[in-house]
């Protein structure tokens, strides 16, 4: 079982948050996660003049995950996420939005832990009965 240093993970999320591009909402967000093989990945939100095209911090975190080395297959060994945190512009814990919980679920190891506004929660708790890759396989 990999050791999770939450202070270090939160520090990485805060650094990412400072890179946010948020001229419209002025609401910077930073996210950080730990991979099964012990790497940290992070992301910030990137807004757009066409507001609805905004990329959440979690989207940019997943780009980092794949740019760092996924082999492209779903659940590639060592590349799944085991721990996640997300902060607002004051460094306070922020819940990932519904869409981003789905995005994170796809790349989570079973039991991935999220630091949330109501304490430590597993991915299964924050997106119960999630639709995921297995549903596609089982219902073909």
The residues that touch ligand THU, with contacts defined as CB under 6 A, are 22, 25, 27, 29, 45, 47, 54, 56-58, 96-97, 100
Ramachandran area for residue 104 (φ above 0: left; ψ -120 to 50: alpha; else beta): alpha
Q: How far is 86 from 31, CA to CA, in rounded Å?
A: 4
59 or 76: CB nearest ligand THU: 59
User: From CA 85, how far away is CA 110, in angstroms rounded?
Assistant: 16
Nearer to ligand THU, 58 or 115 (CB): 58
Shortest distance (Å) from residue 96 CB to ligand THU: 4
Q: Look up 58 and say whether it is catalytic.
A: yes
CB-wise, 28 or 80, nearer to ligand THU?
Answer: 28
Closest distance to ligand THU from the beta carbon of 79 (Å) = 21
CA–CA separation, 13 and 91 (whole Å): 8
Q: How much is the CA Rg of the chain, to the nearest whole Å?
A: 15
Nearest to 12 by CA among 114, 89, 115, 85: 85
Which residue in the list 3, 36, 47, 58 is annotated as catalytic?
Answer: 58
Q: Minimal distance in Å, beta carbon 100 to ligand THU? A: 4
32/83 Cα distance (integer angstroms): 8
CB atoms within 10 A of CB 126: 19
Taking the complex as a whole, how short is the minimal distance between the CB of residue 138 and ligand THU, in angstroms? 29
* Residue number with CB closer to ligand THU (5 or 48): 48
Task: Please list the active-site residues.
Answer: 58
């Amino acid at each position: 079982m990999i050791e999770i240093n939450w202070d270090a993970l939160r520090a990485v999320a805060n650094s990412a948050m400072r890179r946010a591009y948020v001229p419209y909402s002025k609401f910077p967000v930073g996210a950080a996660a730990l991979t099964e093989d012990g790497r940290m990945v992070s992301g910030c939100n990137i807004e757009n003049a066409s507001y609805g095209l905004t990329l959440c911090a979690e989207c940019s975190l997943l780009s980092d995950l794949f740019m760092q080395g996924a082999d492209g297959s779903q659940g590639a060994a060592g590349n799944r996420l085991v721990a996640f945190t997300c902060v607002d512009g004051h460094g306070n814990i922020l819940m990932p939005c519904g869409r981003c919980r789905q995005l994170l679920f796809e790349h989570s190891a079973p039991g991935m832990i999220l630091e949330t506004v109501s304490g430590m929660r597993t991915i299964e708790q924050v997106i119960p009965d999630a639709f995921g890759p297995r549903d596609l396989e089982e219902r073909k």
